[in-house]
Every structure is written in C-alpha cells, then in structure tokens.
Amino acid sequence: MNQFIFKISFIIIASILGSCAKQSSPMGGPKDEEPPILISSNPINESINVKPEKIDLEFNEYIKLENPSQSIIITPKVEKDKVEFLAIKNRVQISLNQELEDNTTYVFNFQKSIQDASEGNPAERLKLVFSTGETIDSLTVTGKVDYWFSKDNENYKDLLVGLYINEDTTDLFTAAPYYIAQVDTAGKFEITNIKAGTFRAYAWYDDNNSLKAEYRNEPYGFITEPIEVKENLNNLHININRADLSPLKINRSSSSGSNFDVILSKDLASYEVKHPDKNEKLFFRLKENNLRFYHTELLNDSTQVELQLIDSVGAKVDTTLYARFEESERNKEKLEVTSKGPIKFTKLIKAKLGFNKPLIDINYDSLYLSYDTASTIPITPDMVWLTDSTNSWTELNISIPINDSIPFEKYKLIAADSTFKDVENLWNEKPFEVNYNRLKSDNLGDEISGIIDTDERPIMVQLLDTKGIVVVEQYLEESNEFIFTKLEATNYQLRAYVDRNGNKAWDPGNINLKIQPEPVYFFQDEKTGKRELLLRGGWTVNEQTIRKRRESGLLINKNEHKYIDIERLPLEIMEINEEYFINN
C-alpha cells in the first residue's frame, strides 16, 4: 500500500515540476502585445570603469533570443564568433570570452533580437552602453544610404554602414567595421558613442549576414576620402551599387575544334582585337566570358593576336597570345539568328539581328519585308550595316522606311534558309522571321521634353518602359535639353547619367582607385514622388526636369558649403530641401 502511495505521489510531483519548467502562454485571455521591458542590467547602462566578462539582462517576462549572433550589433567590433548568447526564463546572459579594449565605450544594440516568449514581441530601442575607461564616448555620425538605381519602394533591409579606423588595413571586404549601424526603413542611420578619430566610411548590402561586403554581387558604396570625427557629423551620404571587383584575367586559352577559345574570368565591358588580318581572315565573337577566334585559311599553325580587355570597373588587361588553329573533325556550331531590336515603329523599322558567329556574306535575294500576305519590300545593301562597337560582325542592323502610302499595320521580316553565311561557310538552315507592328497615329504621343538639372557634359538621357528597358536615348554633349517625339502612348520613366569618361556607357566606379560611380538621375514627380510619367495619344509632355541627386559625401558646414570627398573642379552647388551641397 505504501509503495502504491509513493508511486502516485511521485507522478503528481513530476507533473507539477514539468508544468513549472515549461515556458508557455496561459490559456485564454487577451493576446499579449506588450514588448519585454528591461528591469536591470549588469553592468548598469552607461557605467564607467567596467570591464565585464559577462553581461546579464533581466526582463519583466519570459523572453527568447532570435538569431542573436547576427541581429545584435556590438561596437566597437569584437570577435563575434567567441561571444555566447543564452536566454533563460526572463534573463539574457552574454559571455564575451575575450578581453575588452582599455578606455573604450562599448555599445550593444539588440535591435529585435530579444522577444517575449509567448508572442514574439521584440524589446523596443534596447541598447546597453558602458565604458572600460573614465568617460563615455558620445560622438555620433548620422546620414542616409541610397541606391544609385533605386526603385519607388526600395527595401533597405540588411543595409549596413561601417566606420573603419583609417590606419587599419582592413576594409568592408576583409573584416567587420570598428563601428557599425543598420539602416532603417527610410535609408537613414545613426552610429553613436564614437571615440574621436579618423575613419573610412562604407555602406553595403549584407545579404549573407557576414558583416562584410561581397565584392562580386552585393551593392556597396564608399566615401572617397577619410572623415575626421571630432564633433557630431550629421550629413554623411553614401550611394551604393554593384561593381564586380574580382580580378580580370584569362583563365584558359586553347584550341576548340578548328577554332581558338580564350576563357575569361568575368564578363567584359569592352575589348579590342589587333591583328593585320582582322575581319578579312581572322574573325571573332564574344559570348558571355568566351572570346572565340576563327581563321578562314590558317590550319595547324598559330598567329600572334593582341588583346585589350576592359571590365565593368575599368580594369584593363593588355596581352599578346598565339592563337592556334588546327584541323578538326568536330561538327561545326550551327548558325543561329535572334531578334534584338524593337518590334514597334512609326515610320522606320529598326531591325537588329544577332548571330552566334561572325557573318561573312548575305544573300539579299532571300531577305525581305512582307505585308498584306503577298506584298514585299526587298532589303538592299544600303539598308544594312554591322554594329562596329567591337568589329565582331555578329550584330546586323536593318533600317527599313515604310511609306505613308502603305496603310498596313503588321509587317514581317523574313530571311529564308541560306540567307546568312557565317565565317565557317555555314548558312542558316532554318528560315527566320520576326514581326513588326506600326503604331496607330491616334496611339502616338507627340513629345516628351525637358532638361537635366546639371552643368556637366556629356549626358546620356534615356526613356525607359515600365520594365526598365531603354526605348530611346539621346547623347547630349553641348546642351542639357532633351526631346523625344512620336512615341507610343503609355507609361515611361526618364533616366540620365553623366558620362564622365565619354564611353557612352554607365560606369560603376572603382573603389580600389577611389573612382566614384557616374551619377545617375531619375525624373520624379514632385507631387506624388513617383517616377512614372504618363503619355497619352496626342499629348505633349514638356518642361520635365530630371533633378540631380546628391553624390556620396559628407556635408561639414552647410553655411560654408564644404564637403569632404571633393575630387574635381569646378565645384557645383545645388540646393535641396533648403540645404546646400557641393557634389564631389
């Protein structure tokens, strides 16, 4: 009997203890919407002359930790992989497992990492500040981060701003910063409790939560010159964009069938081939990172070829190699044709055809424009030219004027089989067709015109469709006024960039060479803040202004109009929201 009572008592006691140990929300009652409140901390907030090995936080309710190693920002930087975080009931314990620096103010910014156990409500604006020395450092740096190619509703999540001690050799690609802050939903940031000194400033999108930037695929930005923090700085501005800094090199070069391949480490922005037989006997094409050479006569022999390769960040490789061409029984790559140009037009069809290999001949008898089932317009050599940006002979332009006397709307460009002959003496095996549609006159807008609010030249102005594809562009060298006429009535965006190096392409800059990206400006409606611009049939949309945007830099004294980060003259002063900025 006694044994039976003992067993029953043991089960009851075990059940009570188990229910006490389990953290769960009570049954019924209103939903808990209150965040946890900090009751006490050790060390106490803003303590001085402390060098804790552990930090203890006590809250008014049971809590949990959400991804603390990534969400909790500690400045100045510590060895984060040594720090241990633990949540027990209503307490958080942090074991630092490392020696803190002398005479240094530390800030633990918990963000949304500490949440109540029942509903996950995060503690609000929770920070712990203490100093290992006599004083609390109190300097701050505030500002804003923006994307050069931003959208109407940009997501600023995972954007970080970091300060690196100027004398250190680390940067945003190699180590976590000395001071760090996360950007809020409006792109603004605040770095607090900074010790006076000179720093290099960066911003980046930290997609993998490494506290470092990935120079191949994560957007980042920088201030060109170090900033001196000896007082509060309130106008640090950093624009970010992608700029692949991986080294440009030739990974491999070898014969491929009867051709010769040069495999590159990354895509090119431009390239130049130098050879006495270029486009007579020696031909080439670039496909992604594969530069392939063809020779119409050379077999089992090699020839010297000079190459100049340039990537998107302006890095150059000048080299000379020997391209060897060998006999091969391997099947030759078939000639393929694709359409690359616009399919809508008003008076002139601007066809653009792309080829996977260089062309050497066209049979014009089988190349024509068809309309009205049986009517045709022959394509003649004076309508055709090859794009000569690289002289690779892989892009064909065809300009076909359509007379107003022809009343039809639908047209078809037809290339029968055996119309195009490539460098390996292969003709296209299949017919190629592409349709074009003439815009109705009542579906045409008359004009979009305006100015770009900058004195810099030259400027590339682009009209984009709603998918961000360039519809038409103008290159302005003498004026800042633009005009686009006879456009499809639809929604557009206006974009402009200052072409500082004159290559008619936007350049993302090079952080290693301290070259900032070329400025990019968008038209934005001053009332709605949206970038979309509506053009209706018969409308004229004029006097549109594409306003300048602030470049990366730091406003020191708005009354004196001074910036750190000045790279060129003359300086241009602009007024934005009652503050004056001088752009670097």
Residue 436 CB neighbours (<10 A): 22
What pLDDT shows up at residue 158?
80
pTM (two decimals): 0.81
Strand boundaries in 209-327, DSSP class E: 220-222, 227-229, 233-240, 250-256, 259-264, 270-274, 282-287, 290-295, 301-310, 316-325
User: Could you report the per-residue pLDDT of 7-45, keeping only the tens digit for each?
Assistant: 444 444 444 444 443 344 444 556 667 899 999 999 999
pLDDT the model gives residue 203: 96
Domains of the chain: 38-131 (2.60.40.1220), 139-240 (2.60.40.1120), 250-325 (2.60.40.1220), 337-438 (2.60.40.1220), 442-549 (2.60.40.10)
Half-sphere exposure of 484 (CA within 13 A, CB side): 24
What's the CA gap between 552 and 145, in Å, rounded?
Answer: 9
Give the separation between CA 570 and CA 561, rounded to whole angstroms.
14
Closest C-alpha to 86, from 74, 68, 111: 68
Q: pLDDT at position 32, please?
A: 66
Which pLDDT value is given to residue 153?
A: 57
d(CA 265, CA 249): 5
Contact 346, 438 (CB under 8 A): yes
pLDDT value at residue 152: 55
Low-confidence residues of the chain: pLDDT under 70: 1-32, 151-154, 389-390, 556-584
User: Is the Cβ–Cβ distance between 240 and 204 less than 8 Å?
Assistant: yes
Beta-strand pair 344-345/432-438: parallel
Angle at 261 between CA 258 and CA 266, to 5 degrees: 165
Q: What are the CA-CA distances from residue 444 to residues 466, 484, 537 (Å)?
A: 17, 12, 5
d(CA 520, CA 465): 17
Is the separation of the CB atoms in 81 and 176 below 8 Å? Answer: no
Two tokens at 188?
Answer: 């603004």
DSSP of 315-360, one letter per residue? -EEEEEEEEEE----SPPPPP-EEE-S-SEESSEEEEEEEESS-EE
